[in-house]
Structure formats: C-alpha cells, structure tokens
Structure 1
C-alpha cells in the first residue's frame, strides 16, 4: 500500500446508491471510518444495512457512488478489498462436526497461513476458548460459536472486519461475550464496521454511530454528539439527559408503524 493510502480513512463511502427493480434501497449514502475504531451503522429492518455491507465487501455492485476499504477502491480493486477484510454475518459459520481447533486449522490451511496449528492455538487463547478447543463446535453455546466465528474471520490478520448484526438471536450473556470480543478487536487495531438494530449495542460499543433510515444517513456522530440533538428533559427540576433511543425515535419515528 502506498503512503497516500495509509493516510486515508479505513473505510470511505461517497454517494452510494442501490436499487432492486423499483425499490431504492440506498440513496446517496456517505461516511468515513477511522482506522482502529468501531463504527456502528444503526437502523431498523429494511434500512439497507446489509446491502451496504455487501457492496463494501465486493459481493454486490452499487448503481452509483464510490467506496474504498483500506485504501482500495471497491469497484476497481476488488481483490485488494477482499484481501483486507473479513465478513461475519448474523449466523456463526462454523462446522459443528469439527472441534473448535479443527475449524480454525481448516480455515488457516485454506488461507495458506504458515503453521495453522499455532495460529489456531493463539486464537483459541485470545478468545477464551482454549479449554473448549478440543470439543465439537456443536457443544458450544451461542456466544462461544459466535466468538469462534469471529476468531475464524481474523485468520490472516485482516485490518478491517464487517460484522453484520452479529448478536442477532443471542441471549443476554452471549451478547455481552460478543461485545467483549469486538472491543478486543478494536483494542488490537482492527477497524470494525458493525451493523445493528439494537440501540444498546451501538451505545455500548461504537466510537461513532451513523443512523441509516430509508436508505440515507440522517445523522452521524459520537454518542455525545447525537445526544446533543435533543434538549435534556426536566423531571422534578432535575435534568434527564436523552438516551440514544430518544434520539433515534425523534429522528426516524416509531419504526414499528412502518411496513418492513
């Protein structure tokens, strides 16, 4: 990578549009993500979050606009993008017949990483799975499977990881485990783009939050900046600061009333 690219944001999105027949899903989306940060793309079902992740990971072509990941243009340099990223979805992509360690070794071999066994052992330790490494993945809890899935996605040390609603369907304890894993990723310098429909998830994890509504980014900022959009409410003469939920509902309304 050139020195100029190294100075770029880890992710840059400008004017991205995407339609499926008559349905316009993305309408000129734009934002930047700083390297080593956690960026949350917050929106309700159908807001266009997964479509945007598919575009950024070169699985889908936009109708208009440009995007770059780790300095590589998504349209012109897809191989460079794919070599820079990893993608995790809503469901853990682990082989339940294999043990946790075998899953990691398999992926390491497929990616032609040197010493797959050592890489697997290192990741098991990093994600607190060492004691369960020789157990079949079918015996893992939901949180353990998701952590294993994220560990598998990190083989090869990609600088950018996309996590598309990674805690969907998990119980509260498993969600906390995944949150801790995501914090560890950013702490180690990995750039994380997280899509979520959970307000508390964005509030707990993100350095910056972009609210995607009806295909456009309607607000983008830190949690503190977003809270400043609403004045504090006075409850018995005591100011109550607005929550992210207050901000989200004020901006997009009650999404439960909208068709999905």
Structure 2
C-alpha cells in the first residue's frame, strides 16, 4: 500500500477516535482546562501525531495508548465528582485576591500575579478601581470573578422596588428562511399565527434570516437584506395606550353627565381601570 494512502487511513481512524474521546470527556473550553487536562491534550496530540506519520507503529498500539490516556482522566473526573478532597488536589481551589476591599498581596505572590495582571482582570469585569471591589477570587481555571461593593453595584428593579415582567427563553421560530415547528409549539403558537404576523409586517418567510418570539408572544425578525427595516412590535404599547384612552373617556363621561348614579358608576370604573393600568404598566414597558 502506498505510504500516502496509509497516512490518510491512519488520519481518519485517529480522527474518529479523537472525536469519540472528546465526547466522552465532556464540554469544556480550552481556557477552562486545568493543568492536568491541558497536559492530557498535549500528550494525546503527540500520540496521534506519532501514530499517523510513523508507518512502523501499529495502529492498534496508538489506539491502546489513546484508550489509556482517556480512561485515567475519565476515572479521575469520576472520583472528583465524589470526593471534595480529591477534587481540590487535581483541579485546585479558588484563591482570594481581594477581600473586604483589601488586596491580598501574599496570595498574588502565591499565584504569581502582578499588579498589572490584577488590574487587567478587574477591567475585564468592568471595574477600574481596586477600592471599588468588595471581593475578588481567582478560580481554579484562572478566571477572576469580582463582586463590587454594594454602592458600586448596578441598580436593579428589585432595589428600586419595581416589579418587572418575568421573562422566558425566546423561541427561534424562523431560521434561514425556514419555519421551525418545534420552537413554535414550545411557545404555544401555530403556523397560522406566524403567517399572520408576517403578513402584518409585509414580509415573506423566505426573506427572513432569523425570527424569534419572546415570552410575551411578540415576533421580531431579521431579514437577509440588511438595507430593509421592519417596524418594531407595537402590541404592548398599543394595549397600554388603549387602556389609558378608555380610562380618560370614563373620567370625561363622569364630568359631563348630570346623573349622579351614572357619574358614580363612571368614576368607580375609571378608578378600577387606573388600578389595572398601574399593575400592568411594568409588564408592557
């Protein structure tokens, strides 16, 4: 067999083996690998390279070596799930870099982090002054997570005592000009509804690059042609405006009528509608 054909066959075999190994080891970004896992990827890459380009090495030997280097970390991951102590040894623990607003210089030296490195990590977390940090920790994978001081944290609706509408995962119902039936069913909608919404926008489904439905049932689309614009959804603002108009009409009727019974009825319903508007406003804005 010609050498180049053998290399092609070996490459395909080991590519399939590597794919199977990567699926077995789980999903993890390269930046989140521990030192042991990083070493593992280097060794596996070396085994594959030697087994592919060295015709004298039997393919079976290379696959056996890959299996061994897969089973050992797989067993280590399994034990780590069961044992906190073993997990601390193999994966490491987080290191506190800032606590109660004070930089822990000894921990910086321990992790070989310079002041510039620390400031750079803070900037990655949108913090530009170390004094604004309440707590910062370097995780085992090298990431630095930062908790700003209370007065420097972003204001949330909860802090303001404001109610907001709960939101769910948006459903992608159109992709590359094709309707996706399963996400549409997950949103408790049907194809007829989607066709009607597209007709309101004067858009055909073939021209839609991406279409999504939010938790309020509003459809937003992005077209293949970037020069075309689609009006924003108006259902919620229109609903609120209609309710406000009805409330204003009830107040006007109460002022215009001379019948005391009708006046009281109009006024009562106007107040009820105003209460409904106050409760609904956070959900439609």
TM range (shorter): under 0.3
The TM-score normalised by the length of structure 2 is 0.26
The one of the two structures with greater contact order (alpha-carbon pairs below 8 A, sep at least 6) is 1
Compare CA radii of gyration and give the structure with the larger one: 2
The TM-score normalised by the length of structure 1 is 0.28
Structure holding more strand per residue:
1
Structure holding more helix per residue:
2
